[in-house]
Structure 1
Amino acid sequence: MRKSSLTLAYFLAVINASFIGFSFLMSKIAIDNAHPLDTLAFRFAASFTAMSIPVAFGWIKLNYRGKPFGRLILLSTLYPLGFFTLQAYGLQHATSAEGGILYAFTPAMTTILASFFLKERTSALQKLSILLSAFGVVFIFVMKDGGIAWSSMVGISLLLMTCVAFAGYSVFARSLTKQFTPVEITYLILGVGFVSFMAASFTRHAASGTLTKFAAPLANSSFVLAILFLGVLATLTSALTSNYLLSKMEASKASVFNNLSTIVSIAAGAMFLEEKVTIYHLIGSVLIVAGVIGTQRLGHANLRKSGAPVKHERRTLPG
């Protein structure tokens, strides 16, 4: 990859992590005003509508003709459907701290899947860097008394499955960048998320006889602002940047950037919720950043020293 493209990819990765980090704060605001399923329905309605506008005016060109369309549908079952559904039910039986700890292991899971399906090679130092970044996240949550309560095994199991779902998405999406552009991948998965979560929300309201209250949260300005942020920035923009990254760099390297979102969420909590930043926050943040930098830089250095090619062979995923 050219240096300019690599610099852009790194910049977008940091922006993506920032949006994800702030999304925890906005999700808190949204869920305080609506059922989690309704929040997902409005979130994907906002993201799909925002992307449909430039598509309708022809500013964004899409071409699915003659391409493996069914594989994109399969991709959307991993993310957003599988990831968000498992996360929603997992957090009913576990704490958000446990979710944060377990999510930190997604890059490690991605590395395992990418090595098998895409034949991506990572050096021993890169693997240690990925674990270092994950340890930084775990360290922060454990030090703030957010350790894992093994009594909530149902929630923990579901949250672990979200790691598998997102790792599978990263690897699968990486393999599909040969046939589809990042925009084509993003538009379809957002559309599937919009239709599916909206249908699920309507079904829930119909079953409980509360259809007339479906749009009630939209009367709250804080909810509307939170949904716009979650839909347009945390979902649409993050999906676009993630798919662009996966078209430019290995899935294992792209995934580890997500751990930077922990640092952003700490900063957001300090700025807007006046949460205290302690020494363990700083130590954990240094470990996360060091792990991310190590994942990106150490492998290239080792390959240059050994004279091994930098290319990464891909294996097509089943389905």
Structure 2
Amino acid sequence: MNSSGLKLAYLCAIMNAMIIGFSFLFTKIALEFADPMDTLTFRFAASFAAMSIPVLLGRVRLNYRGKKLRKVVLLAILYPLAFFALQSYGLKYTTSSEGGILLAFTPVLTLLLAFLFLKETTTLLQKLSICLSVSGVLFIFIMKGSGIDWSNMTGIVLLFLSCLAIAGYNVLARRLLKSFSPAEITYVMLGIAFLSFLAMSLAGHTAAGTLDQLFSPLASGAFVAAILYLGVLSTLVTALSSNYALSRIEASKMSVFSNLSTIVSIAAGALLLGEEIRMYHIVGAALIIVGVIGTNLLGTSSSPSFPAKSIRRQ
């Protein structure tokens, strides 16, 4: 494998975690001005528009001729459609802390699905490292006094299914990247997500008789700034970079990087909101980092990697 390509893949994985870690703050800002469905609509409108510009200018060339697009459609259904829908409705019945706890188990689900469908194998030390990373996230939430209220089974099931959706995305994307470039997959995903969320948002406003209020949040500079971050960085850039990383790194290794976003969220809260960092934050962060490093360094996987197709196609 090209070592420079592998280094770039790991850089993309780390960058993803950093961007997503800050996205929670911007999501909170956006939700002060619009409901979740409208926020998703504007978020994916921004991401799809941002990618459409270089596509229309010919800077990013896409070629879908002779390729099975229905599989990319399935990928888009898993993420972002199913993931965001299940997560949004799941959080109606549970707390954000419960969502964070369940989301931490995504690497474990990815490990199982990657073994079943991609025949990826990991060493015992790698499995233990994944569990160590998950335990770091759980330790932070538990020490904060958070837990899971098992009486909210509806919310728990929905959140678990959202984790299963993103795990399925990691595995399916890894397979599809053998025949599609990261840009080709990303563009279809963003287009489908934008049109779907727009249709749902329009339907909701039409039913409520509030269609004239759809664009009112755009009058706020804070909302526009939040949407640009969420749409361009937290959606478009992370989609491109995660798809590139998945073309170079096994799905089981890639997914564990998601837990790094917990560390970034803590740092963002301290830097921007003045939240206090306690010793259990440091201990949990150390467990997460050691787990991520161990997963990617301790042992090798039997799943072969393959070169990523260039984003720009001649």
Normalised to the residue count of structure 1, the TM-score between the two structures is: 0.94
Once the two structures are superposed, what CA deviation does each residue of 1:163-197 show, in whole Å capped at 9, x if it has no partner? 10000011001000111001100000000000000
Deviation at 1:2, TM superposition (A): 2.2
In the alignment, does 2:211 pair up with 1:211?
yes
Any gaps of 5 or more consecutive residues in structure 2? 307-314
Q: Would the aligned equivalents of 1:183 and 1:240 in 2 still touch at CA under 8 Å? A: yes
Q: Summarize the alignment of residues 77-92 of structure 1 with structure 2, pairs less than 5 Å apart.
A: 77-92=77-92
Matches within 5 A, 1:116-265: 116-265=116-265
Residues 182-213 of structure 1: per-residue CA shift (max 9 Å, x gap): 11000000000000001100000000000000
Q: Deviations over 1:200-257 (max 9, x none)?
A: 0000000000000000111111111000000000000000011001101100001110
Correspondence for 2:62: 62
Count of aligned positions: 306
* Structure 1 stretches of at least 4 aligned residues deviating more than 6 Å after TM superposition: none
Match of 1:76 in 2: 76
Native 8 Å contact 2:250 2:303 kept in 1: no
1:156: Cα distance to partner? 1.0
Paired position in structure 1 for 2:2: 2
CA contact (8 A) 1:121 1:312 kept: no
Change (3 A) 1:311 1:113: closer
CA distance in 2, matches of 1:94, 1:124: 34
Query: What residue in structure 2 maps to residue 38 of structure 1?
Result: 38
Given that 1:218 and 1:224 are in contact with CA atoms closer than 8 Å, whether structure 2 keeps it comes out as yes
Hey, what does 1:307 align to over in structure 2? none
Q: State the secondary structure of the residue aligned to 2:298.
A: helix
Q: d(CA) in 2 for partners of 1:138 and 1:108?
A: 13
Give me the identity figure in percent.
59
Distance of 1:311 and 1:106 partners within structure 2: 20
Residue 312 in structure 1 maps to residue 300 in structure 2: no
User: How far 1:313 moved relative to its partner?
Assistant: 8.9
RMSD: 1.2
- SS for the counterpart of 2:34 is coil
Q: 2:312 matched to which residue of 1?
A: none
- Residues 14-33 of structure 1 aligned to structure 2 (within 5 Å): 14-33=14-33
Contact 1:118 1:313 in 2 (8 A): no
The one-letter amino acid paired with 2:58 is G
